[in-house]
């Protein structure tokens, strides 16, 4: 279990993020057209997972926009924003913000948050994910793993992008 904060108040996740050097757990996440994707769907590519509680919050929106901009410089990498939002809401946000490079994926019918040790288990945001960035190489080995300590803070973009 990891401890993070929400406006300075302690809250906990169900486990720990996958550590650098480990194999990433497989996942099933849902795309905007309600198709399920897994790690195999992105075989042979590096993957940056921008894990956010909800695209309805300013920090989640900001990190998604920043990673969308960065993705334009990394054609060998897929940038995936993972949230608890329904695919329809994710699609509206991405369309309104002209975010065409990142792919938004919903946890709506998966155990992603539990399998990645990022599910908040207490406090007002119980049930959604904490904020994290996990970068995987082409073989799904974790090459960067960051759990953001304060949910309202942005991740360390430079550190995550440097691993690409």
110-131: per-residue pLDDT in tens? 999 999 999 999 999 999 999 9
- Let me know: does 83 contact 77? Beta carbons within 8 Å: no
Range of the domain at 105: 3-162
What residues contact residue 83 under an 8 Å CB cut-off, 6+ apart? 51, 52, 53, 54, 55, 60, 90, 104, 105, 106, 107, 128, 129
What pTM, to 2 d.p., does this model score? 0.95
Q: Return the pLDDT at 26.
A: 97
pLDDT for 54: 95
Please name every residue paired with 146 in a beta bridge, in sequence order, or none if there are none. 133
Q: Helix/strand/coil (H, E, C) string of the chain?
A: CCEEEECCEEEEECCCCCCCCCECCCCCEECCCCCEECHHHHCCCEEEEEECCCCCCHHHHHHHHHHHHHHCCCCCEEEEEEECCCHHHHHHHHHHCCCCCCEEEECCCCCHHHHCCCEECCCCCCCCECCEEEEECCCCEEEEEEECCECCCCCCHHHHHHCC
Which pLDDT band, with edges at 50, 70 and 90, does 83 fall under? Answer: very high
Q: Binning pLDDT at 50, 70 and 90, where does residue 44 land? A: very high
- Tell me what the pLDDT averaged over the chain comes to: 96
How confident is residue 106, by pLDDT bands cut at 50, 70 and 90? very high
Active-site positions? 60
Residue 69 maps to which CATH number?
3.40.30.10
Banded pLDDT at 59 (limits 50, 70, 90): very high
> What are the φ/ψ torsions at residue 93 (nearest 5 degrees)?
-60, -50
Total count of domains within the chain: 1
Q: Dmax over Cα atoms in the chain, in whole Å?
A: 40
């Amino acid at each position: 279990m990891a401890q993070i904060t929400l406006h300075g108040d302690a809250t906990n996740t169900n486990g720990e993020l996958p550590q650098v050097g480990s194999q990433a757990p497989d996942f099933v996440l849902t795309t905007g057209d309600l198709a399920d994707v897994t790690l195999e769907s992105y075989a042979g590519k590096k993957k940056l997972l921008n894990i956010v509680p909800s695209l309805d919050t300013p920090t989640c929106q900001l990190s998604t926009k920043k990673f969308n901009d960065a993705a334009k410089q990394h054609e060998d990498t897929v940038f995936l924003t993972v949230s608890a939002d329904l695919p329809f809401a994710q699609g509206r946000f991405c369309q309104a913000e002209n975010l065409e490079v990142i792919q938004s994926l919903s946890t709506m019918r998966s155990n992603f948050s539990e399998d990645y040790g990022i599910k908040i288990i207490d406090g007002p945001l119980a049930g959604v994910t904490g904020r994290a960035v996990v970068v995987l190489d082409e073989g799904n080995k974790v090459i960067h793993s960051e759990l953001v300590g304060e949910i309202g803070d942005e991740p360390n973009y430079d550190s995550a992008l440097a691993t690409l």
